[in-house]
Amino acid sequence: MKKETFVTKEQLDEIIKDYPTPFHLYDEKGIRRNMQALRDAFSWNKGYKEYFAVKATPNPYLIDILREYGCGCDCSSYTELMLSEAVGATGDDIMFSSNDTPAEEFIYAEKLGAIINLDDITHIEFLEETIGYIPKTISCRYNPGGLFKISNDIMDNPGDSKYGMTTEQLFEAFKILKSKGAEEFGIHAFLASNTVTNEYYPMLAKILFEEAVRLQKETGVHIKFINLSGGIGIPYTPDQEPNDIRIIGDGVRRVYEEVLVPAGMGDVEIYTELGRFMLGPYGCLVTEAIHEKHTHKEYIGVDACAVNLMRPAMYGAYHHVTVMGREDCPCDHKYDVVGSLCENNDKFAIDRMLPKVEMGDILVIHDTGAHGFSMGYNYNGKLKSAELLLKEDGSAQLIRRAETPADYFATFDCFDIGKKLLNMR
């Protein structure tokens, strides 16, 4: 089966004249269309806000596009807070959801006025000792444990997750926080990853809404917001049906009116923290076939590697591959599409049926817009690629240059060997 690319071969031929492969390319038109659809889907909730998961695609040019539509930033580290501040996100435009959090990160989040989302009950005391008080608005992350199922299908295993508080801890945490001066409360939960079903968010919402009613009744706190976090996935394989955000938003609305409104909680704001859904399908990795190998299997070697896209090597994740200019040719050749790392798992595709690949062909690896570039690393001394934005007018804009050896050796700059390396070609 085929997957449509958002860029044509002719466009890529022009882009490659200025920017050599490999590079990540993002689709501005698709990003804007998807962001508007999300806003429309939750427009029924007066206080709705999307906090984009910065870890998914930490690029200020892309975050700026999302911020045009009112997005905040979901951060979980010091540098993500720095990036958010740099693009103008401060105060309640930042949701800081960290875990095993160093003191300096809480200090920085407090300095920016971010909403702090506590991962564990012990963090209450740690936060108070670190910043000297408990903020008036505070959130706690909830983990009900067990298995999370939709119908009879197991979607994920929250009980095996390191994140969040138990039910008992959540109630105790709210009581403690209230006694220490907190006035507005939020609940956050993430129970399943990359769900390709319209049922996940409404089911998660029902769990959190019912818990919120109990919490407000039994502890006397005021629940200001409920953060449904992420988990809405994308169809990596071409046979999967994509989620319909309109159906998802309407499903959450129905549960809201069923559970919260009768309890007198019709003012609760709904937040989301979507990364993969927001940008995943609107990015691709563009790479060139540079070698072929015929041994026990047929291999196509490309100029990208797991440094540019780790998900297939790390998870065995599927990413569709299109050989540009051969979209209508029969897929009658079986290949492993591989990179150059000294690791046998550096494979973008295994036993993948593709058209015959010639050296110099351009391959597009789909759905790398989230958790693609951001998971890159420098094993084997490989350097991270550039990031480009395909503008609405069809032009390409460089939004991150490719790394150079000087970047790789920069942390040796205080030593003589570093100075020598940085002066070498």
pLDDT (0 to 100) of residue 413: 85
Nearest to 278, CA basis, from 71, 96, 81: 71
Q: How confident is the model at residue 205 (pLDDT cuts 50, 70, 90)?
A: very high
The packing angle between helices 60-67 and 78-86, to 10°, is 60
Nearest to 194, CA basis, from 157, 234, 239: 234
Model confidence at 150: pLDDT above 90: no
Indicate the SS3 state at residue 57: coil
pLDDT (0 to 100) of residue 416: 85
pLDDT (0 to 100) of residue 24: 98
Provide the residue count of the chain: 425
CA 220/CA 112 separation, integer angstroms: 28
Q: How confident is the model at residue 129 (pLDDT cuts 50, 70, 90)?
A: very high
Q: How confident is the model at residue 415 (pLDDT cuts 50, 70, 90)?
A: confident
Q: Which residues contact 359 (CB under 8 A, 6 or more apart)?
A: 289, 290, 291, 292
Count of C-beta atoms within a 10 Å radius of residue 381: 9
| % of the chain surpassing 90 pLDDT | 89
CA 82/CA 60 separation, integer angstroms: 11
> pLDDT, tens digit, for every residue of 344-371?
999 999 999 999 999 999 999 999 999 9
**pLDDT (mean) for 158-185:** 93
Who has greater pLDDT, 20 or 161? 20
Model confidence at 153: pLDDT above 70: no
**395 alpha-carbon distance from chain centroid:** 26
- Secondary structure (H, E, C), the chain: CCCCCCCCHHHHHHHHHHCCCCEEEEEHHHHHHHHHHHHHHCCCCCCCEEEEEHHHCCCHHHHHHHHCCCCEEEECCHHHHHHHHHCCCCHHHEEEECCCCCHHHHHHHHHHCCEEEECCCCHHHHHHHHHCCCCCEEEEEECCCCCEEECCEEEECHHHCCCCECHHHHHHHHHHHHHCCCCEEEEECCCCCCECCCCHHHHHHHHHHHHHHHHHHHHCCEEEEEECCCCECCCCCCCCCCCCHHHHHHHHHHHHHHHHHHHCCCCCEEEECCCHHHHHHHEEEEEEEEEEEECCCEEEEECCCCCCCCHHHHHCCCCCEEECCCCCCCCCEEEEEECCCCCCCCEEEEEEEECCCCCCCEEEECCCCCCCHHHCCCHHHCCCCEEEEECCCCCEEEEECCCCHHHHCHHHCCCHHHHHHHCCC
Q: How confident is the model at residue 402 (pLDDT cuts 50, 70, 90)?
A: very high
| % of the chain surpassing 70 pLDDT | 98
pLDDT (0 to 100) of residue 156: 59
CA 366/CA 286 separation, integer angstroms: 9
Model confidence at 424: pLDDT above 90: no
**165 alpha-carbon distance from chain centroid:** 22
> pLDDT, tens digit, for every residue of 58-94?
999 999 999 999 999 999 999 999 999 999 999 999 9
> pLDDT, tens digit, for every residue of 241-286?
999 999 999 999 999 999 999 999 999 999 999 999 999 999 999 9
Strand partners, 51: 72
pLDDT (0 to 100) of residue 141: 96
Domains of the chain, earliest start first: 28-279 (3.20.20.10), 281-412 (2.40.37.10)
> pLDDT, tens digit, for every residue of 290-307?
999 999 999 999 999 999
pLDDT (0 to 100) of residue 422: 73
Indicate the SS3 state at residue 248: helix
**4 alpha-carbon distance from chain centroid:** 22
**pLDDT (mean) for 115-130:** 97
Model confidence at 151: pLDDT above 70: no
Model confidence at 152: pLDDT above 60: no
Model confidence at 159: pLDDT above 80: no
Mean pLDDT, the chain, as a whole number? 95
Nearest to 194, CA basis, from 157, 163, 231: 231
- What's the burial of 218, exposed, middle or buried (CB within 10 Å: 0-12/13-18/19+)? exposed
pLDDT (0 to 100) of residue 418: 75
Least confident segment among 1-5, 51-55, 329-333: 1-5
pLDDT (0 to 100) of residue 98: 85
pLDDT (0 to 100) of residue 149: 66
pLDDT (0 to 100) of residue 425: 58
Q: Which residues are catalytic?
A: 342
- Tell me which DSSP letter residue 55 carries: G
One-letter identity of residue 326: R
Q: Before 22, cis peptide (omega within 30)?
A: yes
